Amino acid sequence: MANGSGRPLSPHLQVYKLPRTALLSITHRITGVGLAVGTLLLTWWLVAAATSPAAYERAQHFIGSFFGLLLMFGWSLALYYHLCNGIRHLVWDAGKAFELSEADRGNQIVIGAAAVLTVLTWIIGLAVW
Ligand code: HEM
């Protein structure tokens, strides 16, 4: 990219298409923040269980509602995505898989594994519910 003077311009987010690896990296941070918020829900459930049957009933009622299940679905997807991508960071830390083709293969593995693990968890979870 160049302006009239022929000197290069740094890419701007509005005109620059982020590579998939960069999108996955941003998603890793976003899911990390989502996990921290979701952990509050889990903490509420645990504290409610230790408080009284009525408090536990309220927490169960909310988490078992459509909205509660939607939150739990998002939380489980974020957890598996963050876990799989975190393991990929370990591979990078070992100095491996930095070639572009390997990085893109890693992107696909992370997305695929997170999707499969989430779906499997919900199939098993709903079957025993
Ligand atoms: C509830 C559990 C978790 C929470 C709340 C959480 C939260 C976060 C947050 C907020 C970040 C972003 C930090 C930043 O960008 O400054 C982060 C980064 C990271 N997390 Fe987690 N995390 C959790 C579980 C895990 C797990 C299970 C792994 C497993 C491998 C993991 C691996 C990583 C790695 C490697 C990074 C650094 C990524 C980078 O350097 O760009 N996390 N986490």
25 CA: nearest ligand 1 atom:
41
First to last CA, the chain: 56
The string of pLDDT tens digits covering residues 89-125 is 999 999 999 999 999 999 999 999 999 999 999 999 9
- Using a 6 Å CB cutoff, which residues line ligand 1? 25, 28-29, 32-33, 35-36, 39, 82-83, 86-87, 89
Task: Please give the model's pTM, rounded to 2 decimal places.
Answer: 0.87
The string of pLDDT tens digits covering residues 24-47 is 999 999 999 999 999 999 999 999
Q: How far is CA 84 from the centre of its chain?
A: 9
ipTM of this predicted complex? Answer: 0.87
Distance CA 129, CA 123 (A): 10
Mutate to test the pocket of ligand 1, among 25, 26, 28, 88 (most ligand atoms within 8 A of CB): 28
Arch. (CATH architecture) of 20-128 = Up-down Bundle (1.20)
Q: Whose CA is nearest to atom 34 of ligand 1?
A: 86
Q: Is 89 annotated as a binding residue?
A: no
